[in-house]
């Protein structure tokens, strides 16, 4: 895949970038390693000062950064602006809390003194996707850098300007040269980079295929990985739910980022007693969404990031339809305009054996299912190879408790939208990946948890 900025709203190639040569990659790894030797000894207060400055730069130039994101991957500009602000938030969160999260933990044993000490590992490789091109990088970089690691970023090939802008932010914030670097390389270079002795661990957000490929390469070198992969998260609405709130949240949960979010609600599992009304209101809201130029602040639904995403999504939709699923709205790419536009789509009445059973629909397509009771709702929700973030709606305490304990997911949100929050761990189970980002757990992923025992 060429490294290039291609406007998804028009299909126009705006800028192409030459991938780094082997010698340039070597130069960057060498710089990163040299930077680590010094950087690991900087006090938390110094790192926090730089991290807070990064937050300030993000906020100061938020419009410019938001426009780069929208230009390269098509998210509606209002979402891009919110994304920049969220990056500032995660910088400040770890600037404030890292010293506490990584403080020595005393343990009472047969030693005269024993404790756990958290030490940085070294160079951490981040392989990141295009869908939240700033947020996904910052939620890795803020804890990793505060822990004293240094970061190298291999960003998705369609967001090179985002990748370069992020490197620029950390430099301008005062972090020493080499502490955070962007490597403009294709995915074919990732296995060699993780195999390099200087690189200690890696994190990847993206597709299952990419995750497997990185994990295999890393495991050959006995190196740790954190993987945040796909999902097909359930949104369960039971009889007692506040229907207005559930419908509005359902639309937001499915349409966030033009539907291209790993934690977007994708399967709507409705109790039969409220299903007709939910479906009707949901359909009206889908049909009222404004689709168009993502730079326009009024736009709800912009283009998908690449023609490949449209093709993959439409392939799944057409397979469902061919097998007998019913289309309530949308259902095929918009051919009346350039760009990668796909309409808000609702599918229902699935016979067994469609892609709705086991695939991720990465775009603005909602899958509706009807169930008779909570047992069937939980069984349907869990009947998927993924487990990222489940949303469930009920006001009955017993049902709530069952949903919290029985849903197979990295997170359960009751009566709310599944979202990431710097203060809470984020990640999946099953084929959605392993490891956690954010919260105290996130900063512990890339450190040596060193046991110290002194007689």
Residues that are catalytic: 228, 262
**Closest of 80, 19, 451, 40 to residue 258, by C-alpha:** 80
Q: Does residue 230 touch ligand NDP according to CB under 6 A? A: yes
Closest contact distance (angstroms) between CB of 131 and ligand NDP is 5
Restricting to residues 25-84, which ones interact with ligand NDP according to CB under 6 A?
A: none
Containing H/E element for 69?
Answer: helix 62-73
**Closest of 371, 376, 331, 360 to residue 428, by C-alpha:** 360
Residue carrying the six token digits 């990847």: 204
Q: Does residue 131 touch ligand NDP according to CB under 6 A? A: yes
Q: Does residue 210 touch ligand NDP according to CB under 6 A? A: yes
Residues contacting residue 24 through CB under 8 Å, at least 6 positions apart: none
Q: Does residue 205 touch ligand NDP according to CB under 6 A? A: yes
Nearer to ligand NDP among residue 39 and residue 130 (C-beta): 130
CB atoms within 10 A of CB 224: 16
Out of 20, 32, 179, 229, the only residue in the binding site for ligand NDP (CB under 6 A) is 229
**What string marks each residue from 262 to 281 as x (binds ligand NDP by CB under 6 A) or -?**
x-------------------
Q: Does residue 213 touch ligand NDP according to CB under 6 A? A: yes
Closest contact distance (angstroms) between CB of 20 and ligand NDP is 13
**Closest of 213, 280, 209, 214 to residue 243, by C-alpha:** 280
Q: Does residue 411 touch ligand NDP according to CB under 6 A? A: no
Question: Which range binds ligand NDP by CB under 6 A, 30-38, 173-181, 202-210, 282-290?
Answer: 202-210
Question: Which range binds ligand NDP by CB under 6 A, 109-117, 123-131, 371-379, 436-444?
Answer: 123-131
**What string marks each residue from 285 to 324 as x (binds ligand NDP by CB under 6 A) or -?**
------------------------x--x------------
Closest contact distance (angstroms) between CB of 157 and ligand NDP is 4
DSSP secondary structure string for all residues of 235-277: EEE-TTS-HHHHHHHHHHHHHGGGG--TTSEEEEEEEHHHHHH
CA–CA dist 278, 250 (Å, integer): 10
Q: Does residue 182 touch ligand NDP according to CB under 6 A? A: no
CB neighbour class for 65 (10 Å; exposed up to 12, middle 13-18, buried from 19): buried
Residue carrying the six token digits 């938020």: 62
**Closest of 175, 129, 118, 185 to residue 151, by C-alpha:** 175
Nearer to ligand NDP among residue 231 and residue 422 (C-beta): 231
Question: Which range binds ligand NDP by CB under 6 A, 100-108, 151-159, 327-335, 337-345?
Answer: 151-159
Residues contacting residue 141 through CB under 8 Å, at least 6 positions apart: 126, 151, 153, 166, 170, 180
Containing H/E element for 281?
Answer: helix 272-288
Closest contact distance (angstroms) between CB of 448 and ligand NDP is 25
Helical axes 135-146 vs 160-173, angle rounded to 10°? 30
Closest contact distance (angstroms) between CB of 275 and ligand NDP is 27
* Contacts with ligand NDP, residue ranges (CB under 6 A): 1, 127-131, 154-157, 186-187, 190, 205-207, 210, 213-214, 228-230, 262, 309, 312, 360, 362
């Amino acid at each position: 895949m060429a490294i290039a900025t291609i406007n998804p709203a028009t299909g126009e190639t705006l800028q192409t970038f030459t991938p780094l040569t082997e010698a340039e990659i070597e130069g960057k790894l060498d710089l990163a390693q040299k930077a680590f030797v010094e950087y690991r000894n900087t006090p938390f207060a110094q790192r926090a000062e730089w991290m807070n400055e990064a937050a300030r730069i993000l906020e100061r130039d938020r419009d410019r950064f938001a426009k780069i994101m929208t230009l390269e991957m098509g998210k509606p500009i209002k979402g891009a602006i919110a994304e920049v602000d969220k990056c500032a938030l995660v910088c400040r969160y770890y600037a404030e809390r890292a010293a506490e999260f990584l403080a020595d933990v005393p343990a009472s044993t047969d030693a005269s003194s024993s404790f756990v000490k958290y030490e940085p590992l070294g160079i951490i490789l981040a392989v990141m996707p295009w869908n939240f091109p700033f947020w996904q990088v910052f939620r890795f970089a803020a804890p990793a850098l505060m822990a004293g690691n240094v970061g190298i970023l291999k960003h998705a090939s369609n967001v090179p300007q985002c990748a370069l802008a992020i490197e620029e932010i950390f430099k301008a914030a005062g972090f020493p040269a080499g502490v955070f670097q962007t490597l403009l390389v294709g995915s074919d270079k990732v296995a060699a980079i993780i195999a390099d002795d200087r690189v200690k661990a890696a994190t990847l957000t993206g597709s299952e295929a990419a995750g497997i490929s990185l994990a295999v390469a890393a495991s050959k070198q006995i190196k740790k990985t954190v993987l945040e992969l796909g999902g097909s998260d359930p949104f369960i609405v039971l009889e007692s739910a506040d229907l207005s709130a559930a419908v509005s949240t359902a639309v937001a949960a499915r349409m966030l980022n033009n539907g291209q979010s790993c934690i977007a609600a994708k399967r709507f599992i409705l109790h039969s007693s409220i299903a007709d009304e939910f479906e009707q209101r949901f359909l009206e809201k889908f049909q009222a969404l404004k689709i168009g130029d993502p730079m326009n602040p009024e736009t709800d639904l912009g283009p998908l990031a690449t023609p490949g995403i449209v093709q993959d999504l439409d392939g799944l939709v057409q397979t469902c339809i061919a097998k007998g699923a019913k289309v309530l709205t949308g259902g095929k790419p918009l051919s009346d305009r350039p760009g990668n536009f796909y309409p808000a789509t609702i599918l229902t009445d699935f016979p067994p054996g469609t892609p709705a059973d086991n695939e991720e629909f990465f775009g603005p397509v909602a899958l509706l299912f009807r169930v008779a009771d909570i047992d069937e709702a939980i069984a349907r929700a869990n009947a998927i190879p993924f487990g990222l973030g489940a949303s469930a709606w009920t006001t009955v305490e017993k049902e709530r408790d069952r949903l919290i304990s029985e849903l197979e997911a990295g997170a359960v949100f009751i009566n709310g939208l599944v979202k990431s929050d710097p203060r809470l761990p984020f990640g999946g189970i099953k084929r959605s990946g392993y490891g956690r980002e954010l919260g105290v757990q996130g900063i512990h992923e890339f450190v040596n948890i060193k046991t110290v025992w002194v007689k």
